[in-house]
Amino acid sequence: MKKAIKSAELLIALQEFTAARIAIGRAGTSIPLKESLEFKLAHAHARDAVYSELDIIGLTDSLKQFNLPVLHLQSMAGYREQYLKRPDLGRKLNEASLTRLADHHVPTDISIIIADGLSATAVNANAAGLLETLMPMLQAVNFKLADIVLVEQGRVAIADEITSALKAKLSLILIGERPGLSSADSIGAYLTYNPKPGLTDESRNCVSNIRPGGLNYKQASKKIFYLIQESFKRKLSGFLLKDNAGLLK
């Protein structure tokens, strides 16, 4: 009995370090009513996040501070249910968007794409804040930046097609991650060197769980900036590019 009590106390102490549902107690053979209701609320938030929409007007206004044109594009997925059932359509631009990109012929270093992914809620809340920290780092070392692109109904791989059309050397896509039951507001940052249509995920690097309650903007920006610099230095990305920042040499 004492051993069980001690184990429970250790789990309770861990609650300080995680939002995961541990040491929530029980009521008979079930969990307490308060915890049950909180679980249902978290599940509702996750479902809402999946069906949320990009705040195009708000994001465009927030991105003006970077003095770059902002393009609004769409994938081949015409509506949310189609996007969820046909991941392949979210990886390609529709014809109208391809036409909009046809006139971009000036080579650049980095293309920054912002896509809704599986949580536009997360993107609306965090994309501009992350870029406020990351952009000065990129500009300080004179990277040439392409137009910022906002994509509706987009998957990660859509950045390959966009960046190839923009003639940039590296793509950086900020995208809403699959909502969990403790975080419906997390974005991921995926970077790919020399992107082109048809690449798969081993060609990319990812910095995940970017949000105030996870990896904060400053920490995420440092990781992304390090990976970008290493990617340009070594002319590659993906599984061959490791985050060795801070390791002893």
Give 52-90 pLDDT, tens digit per residue. Answer: 999 999 999 999 999 999 999 999 999 999 999 999 999
Q: What is the pLDDT of residue 152?
A: 98
pLDDT of 22 > 80? The answer is no
> Above 70 in pLDDT, residue 246?
no
Please determine, for residue 243, whether its predicted confidence score (pLDDT) is greater than 90: no
- pLDDT computed for residue 105 by the predictor: 75
What percent of the chain has pLDDT above 70? Answer: 94
User: In this predicted model, which residue has the larger pLDDT, 184 or 161?
Assistant: 161
As a whole number, the mean pLDDT across the chain is 91
SS (H, E, C) the chain: CHHHHHHHHHHHHHHHHCCCCCCCCCECCECCHHHHHHHHHHHHHHHHHHCCCCCHHHHHHHHHHHCCCEEEEEECCCCHHHHHHCHHHHHCECHHHHHHHCCCCCCEEEEEEEECCCCHHHHHHHHHHHHHHHHHHHHHCCCCECCEEEEECCCCCHHHHHHHHCCEEEEEEEEECCCCCCCCCCEEEEEEECCCCCCCHHHEEEEEEECCCCECHHHHHHHHHHHHHHHHHHCCCCCCCCCCCCCCC
Residue 218 has pLDDT above 70, yes or no: yes
For 60-234, which CATH class?
alpha beta
Q: Is the pLDDT confidence value at 249 over 50?
A: no
- In the structure, what pLDDT confidence band is assigned to residue 118 with cuts at 50, 70 and 90? very high
**8 has pLDDT over 80:** no
Inform me whether the pLDDT recorded for 19 exceeds 80: no
Bridge partners, residue 40, by sequence: none
**Least confident stretch, 14-23, 80-89, 164-173, 234-243:** 14-23
Residue 237 pLDDT more than 50? Answer: yes
pLDDT at 5 over 70: no
Q: Residue 7's pLDDT is what?
A: 60
Tell me the residue type at 61: D
pLDDT at residue 2 above 80?
no
- Contact status, residue 60 vs residue 198, Cβ threshold 8 Å: no
pLDDT of 1 strictly over 50: no
Report the predicted TM-score, pTM, of the whole model to 2 decimal places. Answer: 0.89
For residue 4, pLDDT over 90 is answered with no
In this prediction, residue 3 carries a pLDDT of 54
Indicate the Cα dihedral angle 28, 31, 32, 37, nearest 10°: -150
Higher pLDDT, 38 or 109: 109
Q: Which of 35-39, 66-70, 144-148, 199-203 has the lowest mean pLDDT?
A: 35-39
